Amino acid sequence: MGEMQGKTLEIDVTNIAHGGVSVARHDGRVIFVSDAIPGERVKARITEDSKKSFWRAETVSVVEPSEHRRPHVWAAASLDRVPEERAGGAEFGHITLDHQRELKRQVLEDSMQRMGRTTIEHTPVEGLEGSDDGTGWRTRVRLHVDEYGRVGPYAARSHRVIEVDDLPLATAALNEAAPLRQLFAGEEHVDVLSPSTGGARLIVGTQKPTTITEVVGEREFRLADSGFWQVHEHAASTLTTAVQEAIDGDRFDPRAHNLDLYGGVGLLAAAVADRFGPATQITSVESDSAATDFAAGNLVEWIGANAQTGRVERWVRELAASATAIDKGRLRNATIVLDPPRSGAGKEVVASLAALAPAQLVYVACDPVALSRDVALFAERGYELVRLRAYDLFPNTHHFEAVATLVRS
């Protein structure tokens, strides 16, 4: 612990950083400060001063507020509470919705310039259908359990459980089902979900998964209630359309060795096959065998669609190593959709994919910095970013999704 930790400073907040915090400076040193907005002057308490290059701080009070500040959408996360008692998970809830999206746009542009080494023209972060204040969209929430059995979200940037009376980012059905004042002694967490069919449900601890059905447009997807599905009630339909539109139809060959990597239960493979018809050949690859089993069922109507279980890194590497001359031709004509985890695809996967030399890649990203790094890696291997759109799938948080199209230049 340094000598500044716990001290309060009055600081001017200058710009936004990735990760839901703003940037301020004190005597030339960078301070990452939470619960502030660029343009404000705030009193902030130093929480970490061990790093030479930067400190971290939490806003205690606002001296000069931004015109974009509003009462926090979640009382449990507001400045009325001391920082360690503020619920985490709605770190942009004190900012008007339009300005949240503007800040996210700045983060995307900055990431692309610094990490992606590419300048993008104005790319707005597009809103989804929903409330004017960005509440009521979450269909899945994990509540943590403390040593006394009490449930709640973690406090911001800690593993301390905060008891709350409501979950404003969640749908009405999820709020109604959430057991906020019940005790769950001996459990680690309680998941609450409200799928698009079948009503809300709880998953307590490690109970055996059951099957649920999610509806996207006129299509049904079956999956485990414990499995991955997009959190915003309109996210799956938004990404379906986004991926369909991101594919350059002139470069798409339905008979090629098209791939859907990190494919989950087959949402994006279905999006591709829906756009390009019943003859579409597409292989969905996913490391979770339970998800792959569901993907096989969800894709059964397309004769050329199939689902395979494998770690994407190894699967793609083995594909490149074993490809025959005919395979290589089908791969050169391929469209590859990839939706990697937050850490991105990374150097090894990018190198393997570029070695397959597909006609185009559609990259769905939940982290702008990871996407930007990978865009730079693809550029080194002859792939050019030709299209980028961004979507606000997580209002009142710093998260958003981007969909990039890369083509062989």
Write the pLDDT tens digit of every residue in 59-106: 999 999 999 999 999 999 999 999 999 999 999 999 999 999 999 999
Report the percentage of the chain scoring pLDDT > 70.
Answer: 100
The type of residue at 283 is T
Q: pLDDT tens for residues 385-399? A: 999 999 999 999 999
Burial of 171 (0-12, 13-18, 19+ CB in 10 A): buried
Q: How confident is the model at residue 1 (pLDDT cuts 50, 70, 90)?
A: low
Q: Is the pLDDT of residue 232 over 80?
A: yes
Annotated binding residue at 339?
Answer: yes
Q: Which CATH architecture has domain 8-69?
A: Beta Barrel (2.40)
What are the structural domain ranges in the chain? Answer: 8-69, 107-130+233-408, 140-215
Is 26 strand, coil or helix?
A: strand
Q: pLDDT tens for residues 42-59? A: 999 999 988 778 999 999
Q: Is the pLDDT of residue 248 over 70?
A: yes
Q: For the domain bounded by 107-130+233-408, which CATH number is listed? A: 3.40.50.150
Q: Is the pLDDT of residue 307 over 90?
A: yes
Distance from chain centroid for Cα 288: 19
Q: What letter would DSSP give residue 194?
A: -
Rounded Cα distance, 224 and 30, in Å: 45
Rounded Cα distance, 282 and 285, in Å: 10
pTM: 0.96
Sign of dihedral through CA atoms 149, 153, 156, 158?
positive
Rounded Cα distance, 120 and 142, in Å: 35
Which of 216, 90, 86, 217 has the alpha carbon at shortest distance from 155? 86
Annotated binding residue at 286?
Answer: yes
Which of the residues are catalytic?
366
Annotated binding residue at 84?
Answer: no
